[in-house]
Amino acid sequence: MEVIIQPDKKAASSLAARIVAQLIQRKGECVLGLATGNTPLMLYKELIRLHKQGELDFERVTTFNLDEYVGLSPSHPASYTSYMWENFFKHINIPAHRVHIPDGLAPDIPAFCRQYEGAIKAAGGIDIQVLGIGTDGHIGFNEPSSSLASRTRIKTLTKQTLEDNARFFNGEENVPHHVITMGVGTIMESRKCLLMAFGKKKADVVARMVEGPITAMVPASILQMHPEAVVIIDEAAASKLERSDYYRWVYDNKPDWQKY
Ligand code: GLP
């Protein structure tokens, strides 16, 4: 796991954007795994800026989103489909047919999930998976106790996540209880994972993910087993890490050829 501590979320998001931009510029036809929530908003803003400046072309980029609420129409303002189009896709030149977001209204959810997994494979697998982290340690919507080998499937949200996401739904009672999420195993097959976390609220869970044991009770901790997991955090989210001095030292002493 590479842990990179940046002064604030702006610097952290610019660095994450640089990593994504380098992939697009190098590979052209590439596959991005995308996340929602507050955390990646500045990353998307920065990618949009680079696109508008003529530095990034999304014509041959394919995307797969991590998750979506079950029973929510894509046009619902709190759906992840609305989020992605509002905050990212409508501002870039990605062809609509290259965008994939789980269908919360799929009549046969297990069949849809199998098809989603098949589509990721058919696209050649995910090059970079962007991730946030829930305060309970979830990635995507893989709540604590999720199998670390799980595939795309339906999940039931924890009370904690219902509370955390209530702000998007005018109260906890309106948050759908079920979601479709890529599995932990699906995420682990991405060639690179790029997890961001910002703010004091994430400090505990970041410490458990990076320095705690690998456990299904903190699904994000499985990233310790990923060959290319990059964790980009701000000072506040890093505040409970025991080895932060070491992570800073490693980053400051990266050989030139390894720098982003
Ligand atoms: C939701 C999403 C996750 C995201 C998490 C954290 O639960 N399903 O993919 O990482 O929220 O959200 P935020 O970035 O707003 O803290």
Residue 145: both structure tokens together: 């106790």
- Given a cut of 90, is residue 61 above it in pLDDT? yes
Centre of ligand 1 from the C-alpha of residue 257, in Å: 33
Atom of ligand 1 nearest to the CA of 38: 15
In short, whether 33's Cβ falls inside 6 Å of ligand 1 is: no
The helix (run of H) or strand (run of E) holding residue 250 is helix 244-252
Report the pLDDT value the prediction gives residue 253, as an integer from 0 to 100: 95
Name which CATH class applies to 2-252. Answer: alpha beta
> Does 59 participate in catalysis according to the annotation?
no
Centre of ligand 1 from the C-alpha of residue 56, in Å: 26
Report the pLDDT value the prediction gives residue 28, as an integer from 0 to 100: 87
pLDDT digits (tens, 9 = 90+) for 112-169: 999 999 999 999 999 999 999 999 999 999 999 999 999 999 999 999 889 989 988 9
- pLDDT band of residue 103 (cuts 50, 70, 90) is very high
pLDDT digits (tens, 9 = 90+) for 163-201: 989 988 989 999 999 999 999 999 999 999 999 999 999
pTM confidence score: 0.96
User: 180 near 70, Cβ under 8 Å?
Assistant: yes
Residue 142: both structure tokens together: 């893989």
Atom of ligand 1 nearest to the CA of 140: 9
Q: Give nearest CA residue, ligand 1 atom 13.
A: 37
Beta bridge partners of 5: 233
CA distance 184 to 186: 5
In short, whether 136's Cβ falls inside 6 Å of ligand 1 is: no
Mean pLDDT, to the nearest integer, of 35-58?
97
Centre of ligand 1 from the C-alpha of residue 203, in Å: 15
Rounded to a whole number of angstroms, the distance between the first and last alpha carbons of the chain is: 16
Report the pLDDT value the prediction gives residue 198, as an integer from 0 to 100: 98
Percent of the chain residues past pLDDT 70, beyond the cut: 100
pLDDT digits (tens, 9 = 90+) for 211-249: 999 999 999 999 999 999 999 999 999 999 999 999 999
Report the pLDDT value the prediction gives residue 8, as an integer from 0 to 100: 97
> Does 103 participate in catalysis according to the annotation?
no
Which one of 46, 68, 127, 136 is the catalytic residue?
A: 136
CA distance 62 to 58: 8
CA 260 to chain centre: 19
* Average per-residue pLDDT for the chain: 97
Atom of ligand 1 nearest to the CA of 132: 10
Strand order in the sheet with 229-234: 2-6, 229-234, 192-197, 128-131, 30-34, 61-65, 99-100
Q: Which residues contact 236 (CB under 8 A, 6 or more apart)?
A: 198, 199, 200, 202, 203
